[in-house]
Chains A and B, each alone.
Chain A
């Protein structure tokens, strides 16, 4: 009846679902495009492009793919319960409400982590193949691993707010379309407002990943990480409170219901 039991239960549920394949396929798209889009190596730079290969690709990955991944996988994860009429059995089992949804949230985070790792593996691989083809140093790219790691951690951190927002949308919706459509619309606001250079748009939850790449925000990295975490706590708290609210009268948290007349 501990949290690990809830976590184990949630992990068992994703066995044989499309979630695993989504990771393998979606992570492949950018490295694939970059691979065939690659011109010849810049003679100015020794190893094949860090700025023009990895950073360019990963910006798209973190700004577009990762947010959409959170929205989509959260929805799919909740649909496992909805489709199978299984929510009622989950809720009739002796798990605290918090454990039920936090276990699901951990699943999403784990999947996202795997998504990032697989993406990086594909990138390293396609870079290595290109390096070999053009006779440059195959390991030059990998040798920058501390930078690579830091970069990825930053990117991951900047999406925590998005992940909990997507999670909340998926949790509260019974159907499949609504959370994806709303998630997509909320995301679109990001690039559009960036275009119009709206003030404070850099603090919008879906724009936070963008700050990881823009030179302009470099000195405020920590601020954006904390902001993302703040968004994360905020949306997760809302999701949790709403989840409990739908099932329990809050007044009973401090007040006993009337005693039964014998």
Chain B
């Protein structure tokens, strides 16, 4: 069994000729991952996920899911994939149960499974209520139940927390974690808020304007965060201080001197070096990057 669940290569897409929406997307999701696919509005998350499900025609590049080429094994692949793309796809005139019943035999799921997924999302007692009478959160839950129906190996969820209340978000998060741990389901979850997925994902891909800006483990993102932290300095002679701190890759920015650092001990060393060189330190301000600022840096020009 291959350990790579999703692999795309040189995936490009444009809705209109000449305007490329996606450029060279190389996504890699491994078995057992909870992969957070992040990017601001309009960056191409939904487009990418739609391509993975064959909802859009692949124009360029290749998509391999569960070790199979999507174009040639569409049905085989889709049988093992649950999905929720953008807004819920539910029949408003049907009840929760009927909505799942529509897909039950297509996925070869049992009646018990149907009841099971309704229990999981807490919608087992909606009875004769049709989806039209559901709240936004209830619809979202039912969509998640629908995605779970096939007992998928892979779940592709596009902004699944849309419309959920804080308790619902926490619930979903723990549901995802437990499904990942207990049933070994691999997740690909898109979001535009890093902090929302930060606590559950182990791998992150960041997309901006249709290009991958980052892909790696959460640890690697943390490393990037440390690399990008800066200490801001003002001394009695910034030019001389810059010469002293050259080996730290110090840079003069306007009036100030900025020096990258990885931990605070390093800041102390920098300070001592300045003092040892008879420089007075007027201001020393370590600006620690957070994951959020890294994310914002990666997703702005």
Residues of A within 8 A of B (CB): 1, 4-6, 8-9, 12-13, 15-17, 80, 83-96, 246-249, 252, 256-261
Q: How far is the CA of A196 from the CA of B245 in the complex (A)?
A: 95
Interface residues on B, range: 35 or more
Residue in A4, A9, A247, A248 whose CB lies within 8 Å of B103: A9
Q: How far is the CA of A8 from the CA of B54 in the complex (A)?
A: 23
Residue in A15, A86, A87, A88 whose CB lies within 8 Å of B98: A15
Subset of 16 A-B contacts with CB under 8 Å: A1-B79, A6-B106, A13-B94, A13-B102, A16-B94, A17-B93, A91-B55, A92-B85, A93-B103, A94-B78, A247-B55, A252-B71, A257-B58, A257-B69, A260-B7, A261-B9
Q: How far is the CA of A218 from the CA of B225 in the complex (A)?
A: 84
Residue in A1, A16, A89, A249 whose CB lies within 8 Å of B146: A89
Residue in A88, A89, A93, A249 whose CB lies within 8 Å of B71: A249
Contact A93 B57 (CB under 8 A): no
Q: Nearest Cβ in chain A — how far from B28, in angstroms?
A: 11
Q: How far is the CA of A113 from the CA of B105 in the complex (A)?
A: 26
Does B32 lie at the interface of the complex (its beta carbon under 8 Å from any beta carbon of A)? no
Does B91 lie at the interface of the complex (its beta carbon under 8 Å from any beta carbon of A)? yes
Q: Mark B249-273, 1 if CB is under 8 A from A, else 0.
A: 0000000000000000000000000
Q: A88-B55, A92-B83, A246-B57 are in contact. Are A256 and B91 (CB under 8 A)?
A: no
Contact B89 A248 (CB under 8 A): no
Contact B89 A85 (CB under 8 A): yes
Contact A96 B75 (CB under 8 A): yes
Q: A1-B79, A92-B78 are in contact. Are A249 and B58 (CB under 8 A)?
A: yes
Minimum CB distance partner of A245 in chain B: B57
Q: How far is the CA of A21 from the CA of B78 in the complex (A)?
A: 36
Closest A-B pairs by Cβ, 7 of them: A89-B89, A5-B105, A94-B79, A94-B78, A86-B89, A92-B53, A94-B75
Contact A88 B106 (CB under 8 A): no
Q: A1-B106, A93-B103 are in contact. Are A88 and B62 (CB under 8 A)?
A: no
Contact A92 B54 (CB under 8 A): yes
Majority secondary structure, B binding face? loop
Q: A9-B102, A12-B94 are in contact. Are A88 and B50 (CB under 8 A)?
A: yes
Q: Nearest Cβ in chain A — how far from B151, in angstroms?
A: 13
Contact A257 B102 (CB under 8 A): no
Does B88 lie at the interface of the complex (its beta carbon under 8 Å from any beta carbon of A)? yes
Does B86 lie at the interface of the complex (its beta carbon under 8 Å from any beta carbon of A)? yes
Q: How far is the CA of A85 from the CA of B87 in the complex (A)?
A: 7
A83: which B residues are within 8 A, CB to CB? Answer: 92
A246: which B residues are within 8 A, CB to CB? Answer: 57
Contact B9 A260 (CB under 8 A): yes
Majority secondary structure, A binding face? loop
Residue from A91, A92, A257 having most chain B Cβ neighbours under 10 A: A92
Contact B90 A88 (CB under 8 A): no
B9: which A residues are within 8 A, CB to CB? Answer: 260-261
Minimum CB distance partner of A259 in chain B: B62
Does B219 lie at the interface of the complex (its beta carbon under 8 Å from any beta carbon of A)? no
B72: which A residues are within 8 A, CB to CB? Answer: 252, 256
Q: A89-B146, A92-B81, A256-B69 are in contact. Are A13 and B55 (CB under 8 A)?
A: no
B130: which A residues are within 8 A, CB to CB? Answer: 16
Residue from B76, B88, B90, B94 having most chain A Cβ neighbours under 10 A: B94
B62: which A residues are within 8 A, CB to CB? Answer: 257-260
Contact B105 A257 (CB under 8 A): no
Q: Nearest Cβ in chain A — how far from B6, in angstroms?
A: 12
Q: Nearest Cβ in chain B — how far from A92, in angstroms?
A: 4
Q: How far is the CA of A115 from the CA of B29 in the complex (A)?
A: 52
Contact B89 A12 (CB under 8 A): no
Contact B54 A86 (CB under 8 A): no
Residue from A4, A9, A260 having most chain B Cβ neighbours under 10 A: A260
Contact B55 A92 (CB under 8 A): yes
Does B64 lie at the interface of the complex (its beta carbon under 8 Å from any beta carbon of A)? yes
Contact A93 B55 (CB under 8 A): no
Contact A86 B79 (CB under 8 A): no
Q: Mark B52-73, 1 if CB is under 8 A from A, else 0.
A: 0111111100101000010110
A86: which B residues are within 8 A, CB to CB? Answer: 89-91
Contact B94 A88 (CB under 8 A): no
B102: which A residues are within 8 A, CB to CB? Answer: 9, 12-13
Does B280 lie at the interface of the complex (its beta carbon under 8 Å from any beta carbon of A)? no
A4: which B residues are within 8 A, CB to CB? Answer: 105
Q: Nearest Cβ in chain B — how far from A146, in angstroms?
A: 39
Contact B75 A84 (CB under 8 A): no
Q: How far is the CA of A251 from the CA of B18 in the complex (A)?
A: 22
